[in-house]
Amino acid sequence: MIFFNYFFFYYYFFLQGLLSILRKLKSTPDQEVRILLLGLDNGGKTTLLKQLASEDISHITPTQGFNIKSVQSQGFKLNVWDIGGQRKIRPYWRNYFENTDVLIYVIDSADRKRFEETGQELAELLDEEKLSGVPVLIFANKQDLLTAAPASEIAEGLNLHTIRDRMWQIQSCSALTGEGIQEGMNWVCKSVNAKKK
């Protein structure tokens, strides 16, 4: 009988402990963050998205429409929307602005011929009312290429230092090798936390 009692108590406390752990897990669901990934075509948005989700990046094709993936990071559930960048579908970008927490703008640092075009698109995005105050991270992508312009040069060309109405950051990266992406995403999480306060 004594043996049975011991067993019963152990079992009871074990269950209690398990339940409390489960309750704790349930009470702090990951905060959802809506991230918009924009930029010209061939900038590397889909490669970046797949890299974030740790997926194979060797069979990527141009994006018709959009892709969406959810990634867990630092207690956040990041819902990342990767919208195609070709000129024909840029007018649809605005359909995805609502409730955006962070904007990630991707630039092909080696495609100097299109710096002007990409700068114009970014400027228009920053003027959008629905995106006002939304933190923006600029990825100076394709740094693995020898011809890539450094992030500082791009920041200067885009006059980023004149941005006063929101948090912003430029991060050099290579979506191909994964370099610099983590640093960028750390900034994203930090800026979401800062906005919350």
Partner 1 sequence: MLGCVWHYVYTSFLRYWLKWFIRQVTGTCELQRICDGYQAGAARATRTEYSLRSSKNKVLRAALETKKADLWPRVDLIMKEKNIKPQKDPQFKERLHICLLQITGYSSLFVSVENLRKEVFDSDNPEHEAMLMKLWHLLMPTVNLESRVTKQWGDIGFQGDDPKTDFRGMGVLGLSNLVFFSENYTMEARQVLSHANHPKLGYSYAIVGINLTEMVYSLLRSDALKPHFYNTVQGSPELQHFQQLYCYLAYEFDKFWVAEEPESIMQFNQYREKFHNIVRTHLQDPDVSLKLSVSAAN
Q: Catalytic positions, please?
A: 86
Q: Which is nearer to partner 1, 117 or 183 (CB)?
A: 117
Q: Which is nearer to partner 1, 43 or 135 (CB)?
A: 43
28 interacts with partner 1 by CB under 8 A? no
Minimum CB separation from partner 1 for residue 23, in Å? 32
61 interacts with partner 1 by CB under 8 A? yes
Contact 175, 47 (CB under 8 A): yes
147 interacts with partner 1 by CB under 8 A? no
42 interacts with partner 1 by CB under 8 A? yes
Minimum CB separation from partner 1 for residue 37, in Å? 15
Q: Which is nearer to partner 1, 34 or 195 (CB)?
A: 34
Please select the residue that binds partner 1; options are 64, 70, 74, 182, rule is CB under 8 A. 64
143 is an annotated ligand-binding site residue: yes
Burial of 185 (0-12, 13-18, 19+ CB in 10 A): buried
70 interacts with partner 1 by CB under 8 A? no
Q: Which residues of 42-81 are buried (b: 16+ CB within 10 A; e: fewer)?
A: ebbbbbbbbbbeeeebeeeeebeebbebebeeeebebebb
Please select the residue that binds partner 1; options are 39, 85, 180, 184, rule is CB under 8 A. 85
Helix (H) or strand (E) holding 81: strand 76-83
- Pairing assessment for the beta strands 102-108 and 168-172 based on DSSP bridges: unpaired
Contact 163, 123 (CB under 8 A): no
C-alpha–C-alpha distance, residues 108 and 104, integer Å: 13
Residues in contact with partner 1 by CB under 8 A are 41-42, 57-62, 64-67, 85-89, 92, 95
Q: Detail the residues annotated as belonging to a binding site for GTP.
A: 39-46, 85, 141-144
